[in-house]
Every structure is written in C-alpha cells, then in structure tokens.
Amino acid sequence: MNKQELIDAVAASTGDTKAATSETLDAVLGAIKHALSAGDAVQLIGFGSFSMGQRAARTGRNSSTGAEMEIAAAKTVKFTAGKAFKDAVNAS
C-alpha cells in the first residue's frame, strides 16, 4: 500500500474527502518527524513507538575496488511494534 492508497482507504472509512484526509495524514507524519528531530519518542498505544537511535562511525569497504572508506556516524529512526499490533498481524 502506498500513500495514495492509504489516503483512499482512510477517506472511505471515515467518509471524509480525500483532500482533507491527505492534509490530516501529512500533519500526522509532520508531527512525528518534528518530534523525532527534537529527540522525543512518539508512542502510539496499541500500534507502536518511534524513537531515535545512533549508528557509530565505522570503516567500510568499497565492494568494487576493495578500498577502505570511512562511513560517517548517523542518526536512525527505530520503530517497535506494539503488542496489539503484533497480535493483529499474527492473527491473520
């Protein structure tokens, strides 16, 4: 399912317009991005939680030349599914 299919499904379920549903989805995703950028975790009870992680700098290897190269440290986003979400997926 892509974003447009998600918008279509939510609009059909709520009876709202696709344009309003799209704005709402964009606002929700924007709020999650903003919270994670600020270092906060986002916890949606029954669904899961989003949090920030750190990946340390490391030395890697270029697969075509074999030369060593430095890979910079990076922030990562982690998602942990909640119990109710896992149970719903596993029940199918």
Per-position DSSP letters for 32-57, written without gaps between them: HHHHHHTT--EEETTTEEEEEEEE--
Q: Which residues contact 4 (CB under 8 A, 6 or more apart)?
A: none
Question: In sequence order, what are the beta bridge partners of 51?
Answer: 78
User: How many percent of the chain have pLDDT more than 70?
Assistant: 100
Tell me what pLDDT residue 92 has. 73
Total-model pTM: 0.78
Q: CA separation (Å) from 12 to 18, 26, 60? A: 8, 17, 48
The one-letter code for the residue type at 43 is Q
User: Per-residue pLDDT for the chain (92 aa), expressed as one digit of tens each?
Assistant: 999 999 999 999 999 999 999 999 999 999 999 999 999 999 999 999 999 999 999 999 999 998 999 999 999 999 999 999 999 999 97
Helix axes 3-14, 18-37, angle to 10 degrees: 120
